[in-house]
Amino acid sequence: MLLEVRNLKVYFYTKRGIVKAVDDVNLYLDKGEIIGLAGESGSGKSTIGYAIMRLVPFPGKIEGGEILFKGENILKLDEETFRKNYRWKKIAMVFQGSMSGFTPVFKIRDQIIEVLRIHGWTGDYDKRVEELFKMVNMDPQLAEKYPHELSGGQKQRAFIAMALALNPEILIADEPTTALDVMVQEHILNLLKKLREELNLSIIFITHDLALLSEISDRDYMLYAGKVMESGPSEVIFKKPRHPYTSLLVESIATLNKDIIKGIPGSMPDLSNPPVGCRFNTRCPFARDICFKEEPKMKAFSDGDEVACWLY
């Protein structure tokens, strides 16, 4: 096991109260694996990514749990050690909207070199930039351009190149294809698959786009209101989901062979005052008495699926 997250809690201390954005989440990632974190907006999927990078923004705080990288709890390390040895070196992240993450006043090449320099890379900078650009299927000449001279898809690939600069073992990709056209999305997907193959990279793919996710991930975690509702191999999640939330979400994906899509009525509960019992109880068509009283525990099935639901 390369990465393991145990009982992670991330709370945001807002004026309205404590928002439990991530509440008791467990997950793991093996070497060379692609896992998906999926859910609606506000489900806590991005926050988990930020917590693994130890970059939870103010007023959020990691309130509990462990994040183990090869067995070592990285939450216990002091900031300087983590920055020097882990962030970007072992675990890198492609942020949501990272296409606008480049500063407009420097060439892409210089921005990537800055990353190399700050992290003490020894070697030929220019050669490394060229290598990285080839890795993400881009003409190395484009490194000489300024960000505004590149298209959205090119910028996204350049950012992935920057994330790979120090040979990380884990890449966290937070909505890497949102706002891109479908052709470009598929290219980025192909690129991530290639990188996994060539570098034995492990990827955490965070997205709300389930159709896209189904084409890339080995296993998935379905998040709702800060909790994992179901996790399992993609075959189960997308073909035979057990949790009502997962099946409703899969049914609501628009694909070309559907004539109608259903939705999930209602909206996510206020996480500063989450409902008692199962957090999905306000929208679940199968909710019973017990769902409003007690929180369901994760139950494992023989096909590798795990579900937190009173139906099972």
Partner 1 sequence: MVMRLHVGSISDYIVKVENLKVYFTKSGIFSKKYIVKALDNVTLSIKEKEVMGVVGESGSGKTTLGRVTIGLQKPTAGNIYIRVDKREINVNKAKLKDISKYVQMIYQDPYSSIDPIMRVYDVLAMPLKYKKEIDIDRKIEEAMRLVDLPLELLENRVYQLSGGQRQRLSIARAIVVNPKYIVADEPTTMLDASLKGEILKIIKDARESKGFSFMFITHELPIAKIISDRIAVLYLGKVVELGSSNEIIKNPLHPYTQGLIEVYPRIDPSLRDKMKEIKIKVDIVRPERGCVFYPRCPFAMPKCKEQEPELKEISPGHYVACWLY
User: In this chain, which of 255, 289, 297, 302 binds partner 1, going by CB under 8 A?
Assistant: 255
Site membership for partner 1, residue 166 (CB under 8 A) = no
- Judge whether 290 and 309 are in contact, CB under 8 Å: no
20 or 45, CB closer to partner 1? 45
Task: Quote the CA–CA distance of 186 and 148 in Å, as a whole number.
Answer: 22
Task: State the residue for tokens 């130890």.
Answer: 54
- Residue 210: what are its φ and ψ, rounded to 5°? -70, -30
H/E stretch holding 160 reads helix 152-163
Q: Which residue has the tokens 């290639």?
A: 194
DSSP code for 146:
-
Strands (E), the chain: 3-14, 17-29, 34-38, 60-69, 72-73, 91-94, 170-174, 202-207, 219-224, 227-233, 298-300, 306-308
Binding to partner 1 in span 187-246, by CB under 8 A: 187, 189-190, 193-194, 208-212, 214-218, 233-235, 237-239
For partner 1, the closer of residues 173 and 216 by Cβ is 216
Residue 107 touching partner 1 (CB under 8 A)? no
- Residue 253 makes contact with partner 1 by CB under 8 A: yes
Select the span of 83-91, 94-102, 178-186, 285-293 touching partner 1 (CB under 8 A): 178-186
Nearest approach in angstroms of CB 86 to partner 1 is 28
Site string for partner 1, 260-299 (x = CB under 8 A): xxxxxx-x--------------------------------
What is the number of alpha carbons within 13 Å of residue 245 lying toward its C-beta?
A: 27
User: What x/- string results for residues 55 through 94 when contact with partner 1 is judged by CB under 8 A?
Assistant: ----------------------------------------
- Given the complex with partner 1, which of 215 and 294 has the nearer CB atom? 215
**Site for partner 1 contains 151 (CB under 8 A):** yes
The minimum distance between CB 88 and partner 1, in angstroms, equals 27
Comparing CA positions, the residue from 94, 102, 106 lying closest to residue 145 is: 106
Query: Can you give the binding site for partner 1, defined by CB under 8 A?
Result: 34, 40-41, 151-154, 181-187, 189-190, 193-194, 208-212, 214-218, 233-235, 237-239, 248-250, 252-265, 267
